[in-house]
Amino acid sequence: MKVHLFRHGIAIDRNDPASPPDEDRFLTPKGITKTEAAARGLRALGIKPGIILTSPLLRAVQTAEIACNALGYPVKKLRHTDALKSEAKPAQLFDELAKIKSDEVICVGHAPNLDEVIAYAIGSHSAVTSLKKAGFASLEIADSPRPRGSIVAIYTPKALRLLGE
């Protein structure tokens, strides 16, 4: 299974006096523009998910919707999962992925969770990546008693934006 991890775009700073509660923090106008450009990079890479999973937090949902629009995936088919919240354990996501009948999945979430998912997949006890906002990583996951994977690619947001031009 190809598992693509897409970190949410730039959101309103949690320390901003105008910031809503964490679950309602939203992408800024700059965040939307940069995430749209990064999502065009996903399209240029030929990403064709059978399913898109997203954290239920607003900034991740907005990012997932942007990815849907760029990839021609129906927004109404987005699946929300707590396994992509920042505090979730990586095993939660792999338990959910085991139930999915798709060869290609995009997971939209947060730091540090996505970096922990990568570490868990490759058998590392600590993070080996640090995805930036609207950054992207692709993993190839093999089924076994415990999922094992390899990192196929990691793209910075800037690299994705350049690919999408």
Q: What is the average pLDDT value for the chain, to the nearest integer?
A: 96
The pLDDT score that the predictor gives to residue 148 is 87
Model pLDDT for residues 59-81, shown as the tens digit of each residue: 999 999 999 999 999 999 999 99
Model pLDDT for residues 90-144, shown as the tens digit of each residue: 999 999 999 998 999 999 999 999 999 999 999 999 999 999 999 999 999 987 6
Q: Which residue has the tokens 């080996």?
A: 128
Model pLDDT for residues 33-60, shown as the tens digit of each residue: 999 999 999 999 999 999 999 999 999 9
Average pLDDT of the segment spanning 141-160: 89
Q: Which residue has the tokens 């196929």?
A: 152
Local structure of 123: helix, strand or coil: coil
Residue, of 119 and 145, whose pLDDT is higher: 119
The pLDDT score that the predictor gives to residue 13 is 96
Q: Is the pLDDT of residue 26 over 70?
A: yes
Cβ distance 14 to 25 under 8 Å? yes
Domain that holds residue 108: 2-164
Burial of 5 (0-12, 13-18, 19+ CB in 10 A): buried
Cβ-proximal residues to 116 (8 Å cutoff; 6+ apart), any chain: 89, 90, 127
Local structure of 6: helix, strand or coil: strand
The pLDDT score that the predictor gives to residue 82 is 98
Count of structural domains within the chain: 1
Handedness of CA 42, 7, 156, 165 (dihedral sign): positive
Q: Is the pLDDT of residue 145 over 80?
A: no
The string of DSSP letters for 12-33 reads --TTSTT---GGG--B-HHHHH
Q: Which residue has the tokens 């996505």?
A: 114
CATH number at residue 53: 3.40.50.1240
